[in-house]
Amino acid sequence: MAPDPTAYESPIFNAGPRSCLGQQMVKLELVVVLKELLDTCSFEMDWDGSERFMGRAITAPMDGGLPVKERTRKAFAKVEEKKG
């Protein structure tokens, strides 16, 4: 497994004496939100196979976003019941 990048290799929170004071809290909030999304929603790719490009910004967003379909798990379960 590759080692975690250093603060100097990941510019999102900066590094050194002027690094972001809320970095650990933001990472914790991200984990909580991601856990809730994965518990309550189902995701599937809605990608047509065309080439995707990274945008030019400090956080490297994907141009046009990432095409994904999301359904709440309750609605997803009802659809599956109707199919079967």
Query: Per residue in 1-21, pLDDT tens?
Result: 778 777 777 667 777 777 888
Q: What are phi and psi of 43, to 5 degrees?
A: -120, 145
Q: Which tens digits make up the pLDDT trace of 34-79?
A: 999 998 898 998 888 888 887 777 677 888 888 899 888 875 556 5
| Residue 42, amino acid | S
pTM of the full structure: 0.55
60 vs 65: CA distance, rounded Å: 11
